[in-house]
Amino acid sequence: MSDYLTTYYSEERRPTSDYPLKLAKYISEKYLDASHKKLLDIGCGRGDQLRAFSAAGYDVVGCDNAESAKDLCEPHSVEILNILTSKLELKDGSVDVVFSKSVIEHLTEPEKLLKEAQRVLRPGGKIVLMCPSWVHNAWGPFYIDHTHVTPFTKPSLRDILKLEGFKAVQVKHFRQLPITWKYPVTEYLFRLISRLPIPFSPIHDVNYHQGLNKIVRFSNEVMLLAVAEKDAT
């Protein structure tokens, strides 16, 4: 039986790129410091971000519910489990950073992911979460994946982190277009593009230049980026 990685994350459907390394460097430079050394990637999939954070200098470990992740992420260590029903083998307070991208929206009980993040993070450690912004994706992109079950907005993602005991919570809208990270003024251009009736894949059945499709798609499909800390006391 195929798992989600062979369906959604084949090289043909989602070719590997330098985006994960750019994202890892952006997060590292903007939100982390030299005290953050060991990183857990919850929902590491085929290992794109795991390898990227490793290349950026972190000691990485991952977990995922797909059996194929263990082989796809080699040589990095990956634990296979369902985060809703099982605890990680990691000891309490054993990691400095918990990273999770495009996972929490798949969970019927997202609090369980956050409780486990709280357990494995050291005091003062950080969690970095990314998920689709419901405000920007409600019209259709959120349900490209039929396993998306819990939508989040800036207020609701901020609230769930606070309810689970995280401090210094920051949540912002985030476009997966690296030029906007370096030159924030370009946000205005991509907001304009998002207002134009331009079809894009995979929502629409179109086939044009991959780079152009990414610009249109990620002008529309905005993410939430949340960063918070475990209480240091």
Say which CATH number the domain at 121 has. 3.40.50.150
Residue 39 structural domain: 4-177+221-229
Domain count, the chain: 1
In terms of phi and psi (left: phi > 0; alpha: psi -120 to 50; beta: otherwise), the region of 102 is: left
Query: Residue 216: enclosing H or E segment and its boundaries?
Result: helix 210-220
184 located within any domain: no
Q: Establish if 39 belongs to a structural domain.
A: yes
CA distance 53 to 56: 5
Q: Is residue 214 part of a domain?
A: no
Percent with pLDDT over 70 in the chain: 99
Strand partners, 99: 41, 128
Q: How confident is the model over 171-227, as pLDDT tens digits?
A: 999 999 999 999 999 999 999 999 999 999 999 999 888 899 999 999 999 999 999
Distance, CA of 80 to CA of 44 (rounded, Å):
10
Average pLDDT, the chain: 95
Instruction: Yes or no: say if 38 and 97 are a contact pair by the CB < 8 Å rule.
Output: yes
Among positive and negative, which fits the CA dihedral 211, 151, 126, 65?
negative
Would you say residue 48 lies in a domain? yes
DSSP state of 133: B
75 in a structural domain: yes
Q: How many CA atoms lie within 13 A of 112 on its CB side?
A: 13
CA dist., res. 226 & res. 215, Å (int): 23
Residue 100 has a pLDDT of 98
Amino acid symbol at 31: Y
- pLDDT tens per residue across span 217-226: 999 999 999 9
The pTM for the full model equals: 0.95
Helix (H) / strand (E) containing 136: helix 134-137
The reply to whether 192 falls in a domain is: no
Residue 185 lies in a domain: no
pLDDT band, residue 23 (cuts 50/70/90): very high
* Tokens describing residue 146: 């039929």
Q: Does residue 193 lie in a domain region?
A: no
Q: pLDDT-derived band of residue 2, with 50, 70 and 90 as boundaries?
A: low
CA dist., res. 174 & res. 223, Å (int): 5
Give the pLDDT confidence of 48-86 residue by residue, as tens digits: 999 999 999 999 999 999 999 999 999 999 999 999 999
Contact present, 62 and 76 (Cβ < 8 Å): yes
